[in-house]
Amino acid sequence: MKLLLKNCHIIDRDKDLFADILIENGKIKAIGEIFEECDEIIDINNKIVMPGFIDLHTHFRYPGQENKEDLHTGSLSALAGGYTSCNLMGNTKPVVDNNEIYNQIIDKSKEIDLINIYQCMATTKDLKSIEMINFEKADNNIKFFSEDGKGITDSLLAFNIFTEIEKINKGIMVHAEDHNLTKISTRYAEDLETIRDCYLSLKTGCRVHFCHVSTIDSLEAIKFYKEKNAPITCEVTPHHIYMKDSDFRVNPSIRTQEDIDCIIKMIKNNTVDAIATDHAPHTKDDKDKGACGMIGLETAFNIAYKVLHEENDISLNKISELMSYNPAKILGENKGVINPTYDADLVIIDINKEIKVGKFNSKSNNCPFIGEKFRGSIEMTIVNGKVKFEKGAKNDNR
């Protein structure tokens, strides 16, 4: 199967050029001025083509909470936002703490065949932070383990988990929150556990990825330990760079302008590795009862473009690095740039078209940005060389 994309404005972490892209058997075969007979030719009309976005931190609620989201609607939501890969968290019902549930999710995602799905496994049985799972028996395809949604407050347990994960050369995604401090200060809770886990990463050699970092002191700690060569990476969310002093319930809490300014500084100096959505669908009833989280896949690029590019003069190359290249590198996947031999996961964006946030492909609409306008319309998403989303087509539920 050959697909030729004509007249592309290619932007990735190190390119900004006009060229054609030849795709064959799910891989990028060539870039340049291409005249070749193909099964399909699509004229991009000089719109921006970027590597498909990769979300390191997503909740699709399968199994057990399909009233909020499922693998199909979550994948549609991802495609509508330009995402070609999502790394799912394990706080499902039942919890992903064994290979049977892990394989159930992976097999179902392959059957749906919309985006690339990765699945985290819990670090303790039933996410109770008491008994560790048997890491050595975990499926070898797992990239990361995570106690997502809760921090590992017990330091001895955290040390033992880090040690066991390092033995099998995997990584842990950390939701940094010391629950002994949460009611006193969510800031203290995040900062104290971030500092501890940076130290444990340095001492155990365990690869640690910090989810949704939101405070000045946590970012400063990560920068300090990165400079000591601790094997750590971190992400920030779109909502933590856009919202300030808001009581919209997310975890960690929305912070201050000073925290946002620090995040922008840490993006510019490469301390922040990735933007990840923490896409967390809820029913209206659950949200009204105080559930933490918001959907984010379908607005992530727009917010990044507005805050980083329009307001802070950060290049689209850097945004591509944060949303594609670095997440691919963290997952160890051959994605994230537009080069021959790389996976043909691409997103086409009309940067001159304005969108108004409203209807979603997600089952949920717990989004505080409804009614707001942003630049940048996701026109098409290609996964493994196949067009999986086209705006306005049957696979766009909006």
Chain CA centroid to CA 65, Å: 20
97-100 long-range Cβ contacts below 8 angstroms, 24+ apart: 97/121, 97/122, 97/124, 97/125, 97/126, 97/127, 97/133, 98/133, 99/137, 99/138, 99/139
CB 4 within 8 A of CB 23: yes
Q: Which of 133, 119, 130, 185 lies closest to 152, judged by CA?
A: 130
Closest CA to 149 of 245, 269, 57, 21: 57
Radius of gyration of the chain (CA): 20
From CA 255, how far away is CA 252, in angstroms rounded? 8
The residue annotated as part of the active site, out of 97, 191, 273, 278, is 278
Alpha-carbon distance of 55 to 192, in angstroms, equals: 26
Would you call 278 a catalytic residue per the annotation? yes
* Separation of alpha carbons 210 and 187, rounded Å: 15
**Whether the Cβ atoms of residue 299 and residue 252 lie closer than 8 Å to each other:** no
- The secondary structure of 160-225 as a DSSP string is HHHHHHHHTT-EEEE----TTTTTT-HHHHHHHHHHHHHHHHHHH--EEEE-S---HHHHHHHHHH
Q: Which DSSP state fits 136?
A: G
DSSP symbols for 305-322? IIIIIITT---HHHHHII
Cβ 4 vs Cβ 34: under 8 Å: yes
CA–chain centroid gap for 119, Å, is 12
Catalytic residues: 278
